[in-house]
């Protein structure tokens, strides 16, 4: 199976099935067609397990990643497999272990650090921005930084304002960082393997609401290159560009819009930086309309960058301004009904597409 030929997006089993939670976090359920059923957390754990087996320079550290198996059980079973020298629990000091990881990467190791949430990466912001992203450049290439920083990004269920930041626009602003955000187990494993094999610092943004999402994926080794998006649904009336769980909301919106005679093409960016702008532009040349969906805020968001690049490339093909559906610009409320209206849920996507189509 080609890295760019993803299996169907729809889960092949209901999520939260007990059968998909074996003792070892990296072992999926083998299926009769030679594939395996895994959920998102298992796919990431499987990539970590396989690459740690392949490359002894890879090690993991973070808060509760070892004895507790990770706050979201993404590192489940890895301490038993690789021992305390390669799976390391740290104190609650993001700046400290981020700096330690950067130093380790400079000496030839390949660290993976888990932020229990990307909201907690802010204490390490100076290490990530001033050191991880710039060290290779500032040393003329003498010190590559093969560092993977991973953890859940965006809003969880009713975790309120301090735990609901979407950081992709923030970190994609700085040269030297690669920013990745998978929407499926297939993509999570393939992109993580790429992240663990290349020499640059990677911000690997997951979402806790997708950790139980299941999919049949290959048992054979595969990797997905950075900067290559994928068309999740074809259509000719409007392009919807999304990433991570916004892809699922976009597909739900596209299903509803199809009943009104509007055929949407849904593009999953997979990576924010590098951005597959050519895939997006090719789709917009066909549909003449575009709506970008993201969990970031509208001001300074990734959608603004995509809109600007589309203006530069396909201005004459656009029949309407590029629409943006984002998290509303307020601290995330705790109340479920207010959270629903704050996030870029399907009902807001539907409204934006209809506006782009003058409906």
Q: Which residues are catalytic?
A: 94, 163
Dig out the tokens for 61 from the structure.
């550290």
E strands of 187-228, at which residues?
202-206, 214-218
CA angle 342, 232, 216 (to 5 degrees): 100
* d(C-alpha 308, C-alpha 163), whole Å: 30
Q: Kind and range of the H or E element at 241? A: strand 238-242
Q: Where are the alpha helices (DSSP H) in the chain?
A: 40-54, 78-82, 94-106, 125-126, 135-138, 168-172, 185-197, 245-258, 277-287, 302-314, 336-342, 346-356
The span from the CA of 264 to the CA of 240, in Å, is 7
Closest CA to 30 of 285, 218, 242: 218
Place of tokens 């932020």: 115
- What is the C-alpha to C-alpha distance for residues 167 and 194, in angstroms, rounded to an integer? 21
For residues 271 and 227, the answer to whether their CB atoms sit within 8 Å is yes
Judge residue 17's burial from the number of C-beta atoms within 10 Å of its C-beta, 0-12 exposed, 13-18 middle, 19 or more buried: middle
Q: CB–CB of 210/185 below 8 Å?
A: no
Gyration radius from the chain CA atoms: 20
Burial class (CB in 10 A: 0-12, 13-18, 19+), 132: buried
């Amino acid at each position: 199976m080609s890295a760019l030929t993803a299996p169907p997006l729809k889960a092949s089993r209901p999520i939260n099935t007990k059968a998909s939670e074996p003792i070892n976090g990296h072992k999926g359920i083998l299926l009769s067609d030679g594939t395996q059923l895994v959920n998102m957390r298992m796919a990431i754990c499987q990539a970590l397990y396989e690459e740690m087996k392949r490359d002894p320079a890879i090690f993991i550290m973070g808060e509760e990643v070892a004895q507790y198996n990770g706050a979201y059980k993404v590192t489940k079973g890895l301490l038993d497999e690789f021992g305390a020298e390669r799976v390391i629990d740290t104190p609650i000091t993001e700046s400290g272990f981020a700096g330690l990881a950067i130093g380790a990467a400079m000496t030839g190791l390949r660290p993976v650090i888990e932020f229990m949430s990307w909201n907690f990466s802010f204490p390490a912001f100076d290490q990530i921005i001033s050191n991880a992203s710039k060290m290779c450049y500032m040393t003329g290439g003498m010190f590559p930084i093969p560092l993977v920083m991973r953890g859940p990004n965006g809003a969880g269920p009713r975790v309120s304002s301090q735990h609901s930041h979407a950081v992709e626009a923030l970190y994609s602003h700085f040269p030297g960082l690669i920013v990745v955000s998978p929407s499926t187990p297939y993509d999570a494993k393939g992109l993580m393997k790429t992240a663990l094999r290349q020499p640059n610092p990677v911000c690997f943004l997951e979402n806790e609401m997708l950790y139980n999402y299941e999919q049949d994926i290959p048992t054979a080794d595969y990797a997905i290159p950075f900067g290559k998006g994928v068309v999740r649904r074809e259509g000719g009336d409007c392009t919807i560009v999304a990433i991570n769980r916004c892809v699922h909301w976009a597909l739900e919106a596209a299903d509803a819009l199809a009943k009104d005679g509007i055929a949407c093409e849904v593009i999953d960016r997979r990576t924010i930086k590098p951005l597959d702008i050519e895939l997006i532009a090719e789709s917009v040349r066909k549909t003449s309309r575009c709506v970008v969906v993201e969990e970031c805020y509208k001001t300074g968001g990734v959608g603004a960058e995509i809109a600007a690049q589309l203006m530069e490339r396909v201005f004459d093909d656009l029949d309407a301004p590029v629409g943006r559906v984002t998290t509303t610009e307020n601290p995330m409320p705790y109340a479920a009904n207010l959270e629903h209206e704050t996030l870029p849920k399907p009902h807001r996507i539907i409204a934006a597409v209809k506006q782009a189509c003058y409906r």
